[in-house]
Structures are given as C-alpha cells and as structure tokens.
Structure 1
C-alpha cells in the first residue's frame, strides 16, 4: 500500500511539473503547410497543458494557448475534425469543446493517424473527461460529460461513439 501511495505522489508531482514547464512558442508563424509540422509537437504539449492545468491557474496563458491551438487546428493541412452534435454534446462549455478538438488533434499527431474518426473522437472525449475531472468544481456538473464518464468506466465509450458516427 505504501508503494502505491508513493507512486501516486510521484505521478502527481511529475504531472504538476510538466504542466508548469510548458511554454507557448514565441512569435510562431502558421502560414505554409511546413509550419504546421514545425509546431506539431508544441501543439501536442499545449493540448496536454490545457487538459492537465486547472482552469483557475494561469488564465492569460490559457487564453493564449487556446488561440494557438485553434489557429493550428484551423490551418493544419493534415488534421481534419468534424464536430458531430451527437458526440460533442457538451458544446455549451467552450473549454470542453476546445479540449475535445485538441485531444482529437493530438491523437492524430502522436499516432500519425489522420483518418480514423472513431479514434480521434474517443481521444477527444477522453481528454474532455480528464479535463472535467480536474475542473468539475469550476465547470459545474455537465450531464453530457457525466454520461461519457459512466460509459468509459463500463468500457463502452468507443462502441457508443461508433454508434453515433
């Protein structure tokens, strides 16, 4: 039991230090297709940062990071996200929506898989669940995310999302 608690503490410290170490690229330019590849890993790091950092911390940095993520997603020649109202049922939360899109995009970059809508959606929803769990006190209860949490716990998240595609 002591080892489990120690492992948990170490993971928390690593997660916290990772979130604090992220730096948004300065003077980034997203014009040509090559620019998006140049900043792909920064995009992934930004996604992890917004997912793991509480909403109440570094609000200016969060706003700037959201802008970078949205600009990268909108212009990326490889990543194409189709938002379905049947899946992104938490659309009233702009924070959750950005985390969802970023999680999908990060899946694409990390796995070099730009075509699998199911896996992209699942990754996006899993990012939202993680973000929601960390920020529920600030976000309030979001029924749609609660539903996804239950499906994930039962191991039925992917099959449910697949039924909505």
Structure 2
C-alpha cells in the first residue's frame, strides 16, 4: 500500500511539474501589419513579460529567445507603447539581452496597464524594477552596475538615482 501511495505521489508531482513548466507558450504565429494586430496579442505580451520575470535567464533558453523575439517584434511597432531607452539602461544591461528585454517588459506592462500615464520617472522605474527581478532570479553574470543598482534600490533611493539618469531632452 505504501508503495502505491508513494508511486502515485511521484507520478502526480511529476505531471504537475511538467504542466507548470509548459503553462506558458510563446505565440508561434504572429504578424503585425495593422494596429488591431498589436491589440489582439496584448494579453500574450503581458504573459510573456511575466514569464520572463519568473524564469531564470539560464533556464528554458530556447523559449526565452522566442519570447524575446516576440516581445521585440511587438514593441518595435506597437501604436500604444513607445519605450524610451536612456543611456544608463544600456550601461546596466551591457551585453546581457535578458536585462534589456526585462527593462522593455517592465515599461511595456506598465504602459498597457496605465495607458494615460506617460511620466518618464514612473516608466523608467518600472523598467528598472523588472531588470532587478530578472537579475535577482539568477542565471545572469554578476555585474558591478547591477550590484550598485541593487544597493540603491535597497536603500530606497531608486527614484533619486533615476532622476539623475533620465534625460528630458
């Protein structure tokens, strides 16, 4: 009897684990030629951003690359979202695409959820918070810039740090 219960428990947990890992699917077929095309996939855009923030950068690499391509394709032509990339973002991300995409994702999610809010500080803050989430998950090489940003955020000084970095030209 104990063997049966143990086997049932193992099978149940294995199938739960497999279904939890495959719960997110990157849209495979998408085309963005008119404004409605962008609006139709907004729920998938938000799911993609959330999944990227919940999955360490060194896990499920193929799906992550697909998610990056989808998000970039959507963001590059979306009539609703215009992402502002300040020089500090590139300095923080360096050659790490996951951090750059995380910034874009945080900005995008906030823009979609708060369409009337165009405040540069708020949008930058949301992008940076997303970068920190992805960085803290692991799977990304440590960097001095991101470690400094973590310390700034931990001290509650993110707003003042961002104000000094945001160009309002």
Could you say which TM-score interval applies, normalised by the shorter chain? 0.7 to 0.9
- Residue 84 and residue 133 in structure 1: after superposition, are their counterparts in 2 closer, same or farther (change >3 A)? same
Long gaps (5+) in structure 1: 1-16
The answer on 1:151 being equivalent to 2:152 is yes
Q: Kindly indicate whether the alpha-carbon contact (under 8 Å) linking 1:80 and 1:114 is maintained by their aligned counterparts in 2.
A: no
**What is the root-mean-square deviation of aligned Cα atoms in Å?**
1.8
Cα displacement (A) at 1:18: 6.7
SS in 2 for 1:139: coil
Question: Greater Rg, structure 1 or structure 2?
Answer: 2
**Residue of structure 1 in register with 2:135 after alignment:** 132
Q: Per-residue CA shift, 1:35-94, capped at 9, x if unaligned?
A: 111111211110111111122322111111100000011010121112111344223122
Cα displacement (A) at 1:95: 1.4
**Residue of structure 2 in register with 1:108 after alignment:** 111
Under a length normalisation based on structure 2, what TM-score does the superposition of the two structures give?
Answer: 0.79
Long gaps (5+) in structure 2: 1-18
Tell me, in whole angstroms, the C-alpha distance in 2 between the residues paired with 1:124 and 1:117. 11
- Residue 19 and residue 147 in structure 1: after superposition, are their counterparts in 2 closer, same or farther (change >3 A)? farther
Under a length normalisation based on structure 1, what TM-score does the superposition of the two structures give?
Answer: 0.81
